[in-house]
Amino acid sequence: MNLADGGATMAASDFALFMGQLFRKPHQVVALAPSSRGLCAEMVAELDPTKGPVIELGAGTGNITRAILDAGIAPDACHSIEMNSDFCNRLRANFPGLNVYQMSAGDCGDLPVDNVQAVVSGLPLLSMPVQLQRDILGGFAKKVAPGGAYVQFTYGPKPPVTKVVRDELALTWRKSHKIWWNMPPARVYRFHQG
Ligand SMILES: C[S@@+](CC[C@H](N)C(=O)[O-])C[C@H]1O[C@@H](n2cnc3c(N)ncnc32)[C@H](O)[C@@H]1O
C-alpha cells in the first residue's frame, strides 16, 4: 500500500505506528512522516555490499532500513539503533536477522561492530543537544573504516551537524540535490573525516 511515502511499499500498520508514536513522542520522532522512497534511495545510493557493515541510527519503522537491505547489505551486516521500544519490536518482526539495538544513538561507539562503511542516520540531529551530537559523531569516528561516511538527511538549509562538532572532528561534506518528493522536502549530506 502506498502511504505518504512517494510510492514506497509501506504497510498501513507501520504508517499507523509511526503516526501514533509521533503523536505520543513528538520530540523524539521529529518528522511529519516516514522518509519517502526517493529520500531513502538517496540515503543508500553510495552503499556497496562488498565494503563492509553499516550502522543505522534512528531506524523508526524501517523505511531506510528496507532501502539499506535492498541495496544488498545483508541483514546481519546491518546494525540498527532505535530508542523507541515499539519501533524496535516492529523492526525485529519485519526484518528477520537484522541487528536491532534499543539504545541511544549517543552510545553507537559501543556497538559490537567495527570498520563500517557508513553510518546512515534518520535522527533529528540538529534538534539534539551539542553533547549528544558530539557523542554520535564521535561514535561514527570510532567505528567507521577509512573513507567511510556519515549520511544524514535534513529539511533545513544548513549542514545537519552543528559547526562546533564539525570543526572538532574536521568533517568535510557533500550535499545532494533537493528531494522534493518527501514531506517536507529534504537533502542528504555525506560527512567524511579529514
Ligand atoms: C525522523 S524519525 C526517522 C525514522 C525513519 N528512519 C525514517 O526515516 O522514516 C527519527 C527516529 O529517531 C529516533 N530517535 C530519536 N532520538 C534518538 C536517540 N537519541 N537514539 C536513538 N534513536 C533516536 C526516533 O525514535 C525516531 O524513530
At 7 the pLDDT is 42
The answer to whether residues 182 and 38 touch, using CB atoms and an 8 Å cutoff, is yes
pLDDT of res. 6: 46
Using the mean position of ligand 1's atoms as its centre, give its distance from the Cα of residue 69 in Å. 18
Q: Is 155 a pocket residue for ligand 1 (Cβ < 6 Å)?
A: no
- The full set of domain ranges for the chain reads 12-193
Fold of 12-193: Rossmann fold (3.40.50)
183 close to ligand 1 (CB < 6 Angstrom): no
Predicted TM-score of the model (pTM): 0.94
pLDDT band at 9 (very low <50, low <70, confident <90, very high): low
pLDDT digit string, tens, across residues 22-57:
888 888 877 888 999 999 999 999 999 999 999 999
